[in-house]
């Protein structure tokens, strides 16, 4: 769970659900979002204008394989249901490691390939992964102490969150 002192980057913020959820709790003090969709960025900039004006939220349009941030800029990075769209997940995870501070944490939350296949999302181009594949991606990208937790929701069934620490 984020704290007020975290500098958090969310990759693929989409409609801004996590921005809303965390900032209404006053967490974190600095939230940065990155999104490929210019329309999503435009809508969220409008919706979160007061927080942007206060300097608590910053939103960027950019590609995930070349993050427009300094090395070590964030202590936490998260991505929820976005990795399905990444053409080169190893490159994205290596970029995440680059912009994380030492011992910073990357969290990736997702549904497995089995669920995507069951609902037909693979047929429309979403790339699914098993838990072991995600953990291997973390390892190959230089993360350590990799763990995965799971939970279940009525709406989406089982989902997973894998996380690892930058060295």
CA distance 167 to 162: 16
Tell me the pLDDT tens digit for each residue of 146-156.
999 999 877 76
CA dihedral 69, 71, 73, 77 (to 10 degrees): 80
Which pLDDT does position 1 carry in this prediction? Answer: 76
Q: Are 93 and 138 in contact (CB under 8 A)?
A: yes
CA distance 24 to 71: 29
CA distance 30 to 27: 8
CA dihedral 59, 147, 96, 83 (to 10 degrees): -60
Which pLDDT does position 120 carry in this prediction? Answer: 84
Tell me the pLDDT tens digit for each residue of 11-58.
999 999 999 999 888 888 889 999 999 999 999 999 999 999 999 999
Tell me the pLDDT tens digit for each residue of 89-134.
999 999 999 999 999 999 999 988 887 888 888 888 889 999 999 9
């Amino acid at each position: 769970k984020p704290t007020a002192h975290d500098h958090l980057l969310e990759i693929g913020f989409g409609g801004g659900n996590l921005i809303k959820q965390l900032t209404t709790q006053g967490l974190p003090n600095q939230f940065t979002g990155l999104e490929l969709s210019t329309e999503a960025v435009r809508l969220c900039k409008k919706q979160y204008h007061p927080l942007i004006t206060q300097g608590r939220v910053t939103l960027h349009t950019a590609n995930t394989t070349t993050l427009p941030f300094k090395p070590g800029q964030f202590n936490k990075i998260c991505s929820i249901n976005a990795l399905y769209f990444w053409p080169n997940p190893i490159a994205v995870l290596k970029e995440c490691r680059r912009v994380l501070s030492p011992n910073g944490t990357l969290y990736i939350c997702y549904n497995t390939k089995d669920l995507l296949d069951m609902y037909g999302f693979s047929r429309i181009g979403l790339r699914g992964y098993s838990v072991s594949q995600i953990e291997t991606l973390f390892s190959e990208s230089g993360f350590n102490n990799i763990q995965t937790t799971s939970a279940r929701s009525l709406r989406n069934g089982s989902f997973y969150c894998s996380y690892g620490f930058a060295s």
